[in-house]
Amino acid sequence: MSEKKPFNGSKKQDTGFRKTSDKPGFRKDGHKKDGSRSADDKKTGIKKDGFRRDAEKKDGYKKDGFRKNDFRKNDAPRGGGIRRDFVKPHAEAPEKTREEMPTTNARKVALQIFRDVVRKDAYAALSLDEQLKNANLTQLDKRFCASIVYRTIENLIRIDYALSFYLKDEQKLEEQVKDILRISACQLLFHDRIPANAIVDEAVKLTRMLGLEGLTGVTNAVLRSMVREPERVQWPKPEEGAKYLSIMFSVPLWLAERLVEAYGETEALKICSYRSESHYMVIRPNLSKMDDAAFEKLLEKKVWEKEPGLVPHAYRVRMASEIARDADYLGGNFSIQGESSMLSAQVLDVKPGMQVLDCCAAPGGKTAYIAESMNGTGRVYAWDLHEHRVTLIRAMAKRLKLDNVRPVVRDATQLKEELISSMDAVMLDAPCSGLGVMDNKPDIKYRATLESVKELVGIQEKLLDTCCRYVKRGGYMVYSTCSMLPEENEGQIKAFLERHPEFVLAPLPHTVPEKFRAQYGENGLQLLPHRDEIEGFFIAKLRRVK
């Protein structure tokens, strides 16, 4: 693979990032189709271009379908695949006073995190978590900072497109000033409870704070022009297809085109426009220690809001701040795990005493689910390519007291001949583009490129061909990804079955909810966030028959 390059800015319809061919990390809003407004729209103060007015009414939503300002609560990461929490906007929330507004320091921290992501290829969740942990900010400032980081990244293509109409020579613009303009334009577009003049003033202060006094005029002029002359921006129309999807919902053009090709324009619009309004994280009991009834009794002692999830043993909780420091979490009574990830482990349907291989196991959520399901019996061999990731598996197994887990640093593309036909079940959660979770991890959509997807498809194929050889006759292999691209999913399974007539697609166990079993096709199950209210995932169960 090629060496990783940092993200970088670009013009108009580009992604806002420089493309890379690196392998991405492993692992949803029914926006209006256009930015038009009716005569009645004038009553709300929303302009057809999607920019706010200073005296805008607080009706909760813009006419372009974007949410009004709601500081994102606890946006710092809490573990693999966990959806972010938000504070829902109040329909009559008053405009903030100067005393209540986030400080310049909060914006400075947000700018640094944003620059780490777009300029240094950092992962947003990890950088946010690390810097907020060390920043001397109030809770309000931390929430605002997280909101700015995620919303700017989530909507970067749209923001860059808008800014391009106000910049005379974008290529010569100092990088820090461009990034200040980006996070400030994000506030003008998506944080409507803060007065526009305050946003501009804070941007100028931030420019000065960074020692760029000579460029404060540029910052001031560009942002004030955005407020006074929003009609400059010529937004694309729905009939422009993939270009419209790309700019209005900040999806790289190649990806918008690929989604239209794979799903059709209507479904692609739903996929691209989806933004999760479900403000929860998912936890599950340690199945080797307690059943659902016992876990529910444990949850009754918590102040969290909770409700059952869509898959067995899943519980959706809200208002659970710093849950990874909870005594019951640290004591191994429960795990944090996405529902799609849980489902793929459930599909394997392991039994006590089995020999199971989890080929690409880190950080260990599926490994733990499988090991717990066997009540401490049998063996779960957990492989991963990197030592630091295997360390995560070891720590997980220790916390949950799973003595039947055997973590090993190993390249799963390299065949271990002594293990051929030795496993009752194999779990292959393959490295993928991760685009099924791009709502939770918005930076991931800029990391994936056509080139990197092609490279991943080749790795997935090699993993399938190698790891299938460990399955005994009558045994099973589950292949899963957190992607929505057919070439990584059903396309892989169709080609695999053609190459390996000794395998057939097996039905899903009845423990899988009917909601999902009904969608199981001839090459597997494709989950879509906007339709299934669950992370974008693909799952296929294969049985070795000869």
Catalytic residues, by residue number, are 482
Number of DSSP helices (H) and strands (E) in the chain, helices first: 20, 12
Conformation bin of residue 367: beta by default, left when phi > 0, alpha when psi is -120 to 50: alpha
Asked if 444 and 15 touch (Cβ cutoff 8 Å), the reply is: no
CA distance 265 to 256: 9
Please name the helix (run of DSSP H) or strand (run of DSSP E) that holds residue 335, with its range, or none: strand 334-336
CA distance 349 to 511: 9
Buried b (16+ CB within 10 A) or exposed e, 495-515: ebbeeeeebebbebeeebeee
Q: Is 455 helix (H, G, I), strand (E, B) or coil?
A: helix
CA distance 477 to 67: 42
CA distance 471 to 117: 41
Strands of 315-318's sheet in order across = 305-308, 315-318, 281-285, 334-336
How many residues does this entry show for the chain? 546
Which residue shows structure tokens 């300029």? 119
In one-letter notation, the amino acid at residue 245 is: L
CA distance 45 to 53: 6
CA distance 454 to 149: 30
DSSP category for residue 21 = -
